[in-house]
Structure 1
Amino acid sequence: MFLLAGCTETGVPITDKSEGFWNEFIVYPLSVVITTVSHALGNNFGLGIIVVTILVRLLILPLMIKQTRSTKAMQAIQPEMAKLKEKYASKDAATQQKLQQETMALFQKHGVNPLAGCLPLIVQMPILIGFYHAIMRTQEIANHSFLWFDLGDKDPYFILPIVAGITTFIQQKLMMAGQEGNPQMAMMLWLMPIMIVVFAVNFPAALSLYWVVGNIFMIVQTYLIKGPDLKKATAKAGGAKK
């Protein structure tokens, strides 16, 4: 409800008079940061969005690292979890209770917390959505241009939407390394880039710029965190093709 309440105001300009927790403590402060940094950079709002995007990503980087490590730990015990599900395949209450007990014991044995990957996501989502709102609702941004486009209008050459889609695909591909056999993951690999392109084509170029910079940051971040795993997944995929 907290996030959806903010989503209803995407067309309402954000000012110091905006009311509500979402506006006063998340969107407006981020808007002030963008305008302040932009003015400090010679009134260059495009460069300001790039700098603040990187700063926000650096701010939530510890959360992303924690989430990635938690996901990696869960993936490592998937074979053992599959064996437990096969062992306790019966759907009666007693067997399912035994399955839950064995699963919790498995988590404790490997020091895995199944909820550890959710908390970082819950914390970072309001920040990212708030930043999206700050860009969409700060009127001063719409009055400036950057490179070949006006920040308040759509990219006339569709370069940013295409780059946003490509970088989203690369980011998804790196994040899903080693999970290619999962049909849901395979669908998301193509669905997300297509959705981003469709949104970017119809939204102001300022938002597309934010997506592109954020995606590039995530690609570098994922490669640095999952580098060894990516090499193993690539080698495994190459061996499977042979």
Structure 2
Amino acid sequence: MKKMKRLTILPVFVAASLILSGCVQRTKSGKPYGLIYDHLAIPTQHVIDWLTSVMGGSYGWAIIAITFIVRMLLMPLMLKQAKGATIQQEKMASVRPQMAAIQERQKNASSAEEKTAISQEMMALYRENGISMTGGIGCLPLLIQMPIFAALYAAIQYSPELSKTSFMGINLGNPSIILAVLTVLIYGLQAYLSLFGIAPEQKKQMQSMLFITPIMLGGMTFVSPAGLGLYFFVGGIFACLQTILVNIMRPKIREEVAAELKKNPPKKVVTPVVEKTEVKKKSNKDSDRPNNNRLRNSGKQHRNK
């Protein structure tokens, strides 16, 4: 489910960011104007200029300060979402046998009507057990940050002072391969940390998606001004800290979910699938058990002799 969610959200995120950043128009003389520039870029330029004066004239530290403020404001929301995602994962684990039964029937379904009915059964399973179709992972933090991306992009691109400023040897107005590589590495670390404390079955599903977010954000950093790349990179550091906090919280969340499931066991919508290993063990036990009828018949034959 998390895999499907990432595949759905990231392309939308990239497309919306590019659209927002491309909504700046220019006059014949080259002066920028438009909704994004007038209402996002100019105010952002003023904020960056003010923070630069506070930070000793460094535009780079001003961008880092903006990243810190945005991430601290979003941290409670992100932690709440991460907790919700963990709760949904535990609930999904409790109904996994029923999900396996539905998935098995989906594979063997021959008609469109049958597939539709089975899909509705899966939705009923989620609904009856209070499981979100998206696995508890929302896109609100990304939606909140999109205007910030667009504002920073336009502010850096169309600000003469900011576009010509360097930070630690990196020109903030031009793309930086160094920041692109660092962004890939930091979000790769965040993806790796997210695997800690995850069930083996879920970890297997998530491993194939580990490189999606780092590569996409690294690509965006590579084609964007380095000032925006700096925002992505520092944001990745906060993402790592957030993931560590979630990993610390996860055992307690699991205990709470387990206690709740003990009081209110999962509702059965379909008959769970009996695992093949269980069937094999059962058949082995049956084969090892002596056949009473056979023993009784052999006893009769012995007496007749």
Pair in the same fold by TM > 0.5: yes
Tell me if the contact between 1:165 and 1:194 (Cα under 8 Å) persists in the aligned partners.
yes
TM-score by length of 1: 0.70
> Structure 1, residues 105-147: CA drift from partner, whole Å, max 9, x if none?
3333433332553442563352353254245424132232323
Tell me if the contact between 1:73 and 1:112 (Cα under 8 Å) persists in the aligned partners.
no
Q: Give 2:284's aligned residue.
A: none
2 CA distance for matches of 1:149 and 1:41? 18
Q: Give 1:18's aligned residue.
A: 33
1 CA distance for matches of 2:17 and 2:170? 30
**Runs of 4+ residues over 6 Å off in structure 1:** none
2 CA distance for matches of 1:119 and 1:193? 17
- Summarize the Cα distance change of 1:203–1:101 in structure 2 as closer, same or farther, 3 Å threshold: closer
For residue 222 of structure 1, give the secondary structure of its aligned residue in structure 2: helix
Q: CA deviation at 1:55?
A: 1.1
For residue 204 of structure 2, give the secondary structure of its aligned residue in structure 1: coil
Tell me if the contact between 1:67 and 1:121 (Cα under 8 Å) persists in the aligned partners.
no
- Summarize the Cα distance change of 1:59–1:82 in structure 2 as closer, same or farther, 3 Å threshold: farther
- Summarize the Cα distance change of 1:138–1:223 in structure 2 as closer, same or farther, 3 Å threshold: farther
Q: Is it true that 1:99 corresponds to 2:99 in the alignment?
A: no
For residue 102 of structure 2, give the secondary structure of its aligned residue in structure 1: helix
- Summarize the Cα distance change of 1:8–1:130 in structure 2 as closer, same or farther, 3 Å threshold: closer
Partner AA of 2:131 in structure 1: V
Partner AA of 2:146 in structure 1: P
Q: 1:37 aligns with which of 33, 51, 61?
A: 51
Q: Give 1:72's aligned residue.
A: 86
2 CA distance for matches of 1:202 and 1:212? 14
For residue 111 of structure 1, give the secondary structure of its aligned residue in structure 2: coil
- Summarize the Cα distance change of 1:62–1:107 in structure 2 as closer, same or farther, 3 Å threshold: farther
Aligned pairs, number: 223
Tell me if the contact between 1:10 and 1:137 (Cα under 8 Å) persists in the aligned partners.
no
Q: Give 1:59's aligned residue.
A: 73
Q: Is it true that 1:133 corresponds to 2:153 in the alignment?
A: yes
- Summarize the Cα distance change of 1:190–1:26 in structure 2 as closer, same or farther, 3 Å threshold: same
Structure 1 unmatched ranges of 5 or more: 231-242
Q: 1:124 aligns with which of 125, 131, 144?
A: 144
1 CA distance for matches of 2:121 and 2:20? 41
1:76-225 paired onto structure 2 within 5 Å:
76=90, 77=92, 79=96, 80-87=98-105, 89=107, 90-115=109-134, 117-121=137-141, 123-134=143-154, 136-139=156-159, 140-153=161-174, 159-177=178-196, 178=198, 179-182=202-205, 185-194=206-215, 196-197=217-218, 200=221, 203-225=224-246
TM-score by length of 2: 0.58
2 CA distance for matches of 1:175 and 1:163? 18
Q: CA deviation at 1:50?
A: 0.4
Partner AA of 2:149 in structure 1: I
Q: CA deviation at 1:11?
A: 9.4
Q: Comparing both chains, which one has the higher relative contact order based on Cα–Cα distances under 8 Å and sequence gaps of 6 or more?
A: 2
Q: CA deviation at 1:225?
A: 1.8
Partner AA of 1:71 in structure 2: A
For residue 60 of structure 1, give the secondary structure of its aligned residue in structure 2: helix
Q: CA deviation at 1:24?
A: 4.1
- Summarize the Cα distance change of 1:10–1:41 in structure 2 as closer, same or farther, 3 Å threshold: same
